[in-house]
Structure formats: structure tokens, C-alpha cells
Amino acid sequence: MSKVFNKKVIWITGASRGIGASIALKLAKTDAILALSARTLKSFNKLKKELTNYKNVHILPCDVSVPEEVHNVNEKISDKLGNVDILINNAGVAKFKPFNEFTIDDFYEIIYPNLFGNFLCSKFVLPSMLEKKKGMIINIISVAAEKTFTGSALYSASKAGVLAMSRSMREDLRVKGIKVIDILPGATETELWNEKSRDKFGWRMMNPDNLAGVIIDVLKKSLSDNLMIEEVIVRPQLGDLS
């Protein structure tokens, strides 16, 4: 077991699959105490089998777009494991289609978990971090926050909102000892993409395990008190999908 985190409590949202699951599997092999959340416990069925032997992993259901659920999960983590030292905001959804085909329901379905959910999780973990004058919030965003892609109006809007909020948050909180770090990945082979897209472009996409390795390297280096890695952009070797 790698002993670099000194039993820090790390909460990963959207941890049941994709990038979140890859981060969780790697961190499970360290001395960190992990709280993993996703919308339903059922979504963890596959990952649970791989985490069976790790006693430092705790799984909780949480819809990050619902204030009461985020509040309750943060309270459960604090009561059972200790206050959150590191929050990894990874939960998110995507829909890709022309703007004229989006509905009002689509707007809420994407903006609420991606932007509002990020706000809620960050807001609820902050009081204990401010009290300790120490903590870390890592936001897994997307290159779509800054680059225009067709069919991506709502997803890009949600991620651009997170990036703008995160940058302002960082300036508010850095003097209080809290680090806010943005990770902007390019196309990664996860279930965020439909099967047709993965079949066509999967060979060009990044492997989520490799990306998770980069994120954990950033996390480890950020444990130093006197530096903050602010933003990291990671793209496939051949660049963005077109």
C-alpha cells in the first residue's frame, strides 16, 4: 500500500464508472480513506467486485444535483470517516445533438448535475476546510469548456460555467490555504460517449486509467503546502475529435 496521503479523506463523485472509477481503483491501493458516490448504488455493481478487498473504500448513493442529498452524504462522510480533505468533482452527464433539438428538460438534465452539482459539493465541504485552513478541490471539467464543438451547446455551457466558477473560487480560497485545481481532459473512452462513437473513435481516445494516473500525479504533487497546480489540459496524442 502506498502511504502518501496519511489517511486523508477523499470524496470522489461520479465514481461508479469511467474516469471516476479509474481514479477510485488507483487510490484504493493507497492509504487514503475513500468515499465514493454516484446517483445509485446499483451503478457500483461492477466496481464493487474490484474493490472487495479494500477496507478503506466506502460507497454512498448521491445525486449531486439535489441539495439535501449532497448535504446528507457530506454529513455521513464527516461522521463516519472524518471531514473531507480532498473533493474530486467528477460527476457529470452529456448529450450531444444540434442546438435546435435540445429541450428544456435537456437543459436541466445537463446543467443541474454538471454545474449546480459541482457548486453544491464544493459548498458543503468548504466549512471544514476553511476551519483547518487546508483542503483541495479538484474539478474534472473538459476541453469543451474552452473549445467549440458541434452538438455540444449544453455540455459546453455547463463545463464553461464550472471552469469560470472554479477559477474565481481559486482566487477566493488560495489565501485561506485551499487549493482549487482544474483538469480539462480531451476525448476519453468512457460511457459518456455512445457505443457508436466509441466504436468509431475509441482508438483515438485516451484510456481512462492513463488519465487517472495523470490526475493522481497532480494530486500527489499538490500535497505540498507552497505550490498549487492550477490547471492541467490533457488531450489525446492525435488531438481533439472532429
> What is the pLDDT tens value at each position of the chain, 242 positions in all?
678 899 999 999 999 999 999 999 999 999 999 999 999 888 898 898 899 889 999 999 999 999 999 999 999 999 999 999 999 999 999 999 999 999 999 999 999 999 999 999 999 999 999 999 999 999 999 999 999 999 999 999 999 999 999 999 999 999 999 999 999 999 888 777 777 777 777 787 899 999 999 999 999 999 999 999 999 999 999 999 87
> What count of other Cβ atoms lies within 10 Å of the Cβ of residue 221?
11
What integer pLDDT is reported at residue 1 of this predicted model? Answer: 60
User: Which is catalytic among the residues 54, 108, 112, 155?
Assistant: 155
155 is catalytic: yes
What integer pLDDT is reported at residue 190 of this predicted model? Answer: 79
* All domains in the chain, ordered by first residue: 9-234 (3.40.50.720)
Question: The whole model's pTM is what?
Answer: 0.95
CA distances from 113 to 31, 80, 97, 170, 227 (A): 30, 25, 18, 21, 30
What integer pLDDT is reported at residue 215 of this predicted model? Answer: 98
Position 12, amino acid: I
